[in-house]
Amino acid sequence: MCHTLTFYKALSEPTRLTSLLLLSQHGELCVCDLMEALSLSQPKISRHLAELRKHDFVIGERRGKWVYYRLHPALPEWMRGVLLTTVKHNPAMLPPVEPTALNQTCCEEKQ
């Protein structure tokens, strides 16, 4: 499953760190949610999410044109704790995001 060094390497890259923090807070987000929150293109977001998926930090589910991501259910509790502690002590690291589940227009507009 997940290796400690690989986890910390993933956290050392700002886009991957912020994506993991957002997922830890929102549960599930669409690629378009992350694009909007991070002000990055779909290819760049998808490349970082593919790296996180490769190491079993996140899982994705395709729904139509978009993929929705969440933390991997088997992510060790201590890793989840690192993410939650990071958010707790650094709330300014989280950009505002309105998940598609609450605002259905995000992905619908981009299809």
Which pLDDT score is estimated for 80?
Answer: 97
Which pLDDT score is estimated for 111?
Answer: 46
Cα 46 vs. chain centroid, distance in angstroms? 10
For the stretch 55-103, pLDDT in tens is 999 999 999 988 999 999 999 999 999 999 999 999 999 988 877 654 5
Which pLDDT score is estimated for 25?
Answer: 95
Q: Buried (b) or exposed (e) across 58-93, using 16+ Cβ within 10 A?
A: bbbeeeeebbbbbbbeebeeebeebbeebbeeeeee
Average pLDDT of the chain, as a whole number: 89
Place of tokens 């507009």: 109
**Is residue 68 a contact partner of residue 28, using CB atoms and an 8 Å limit?**
yes
pTM of the full structure: 0.87
Q: Residue 110 pLDDT more than 60?
A: no
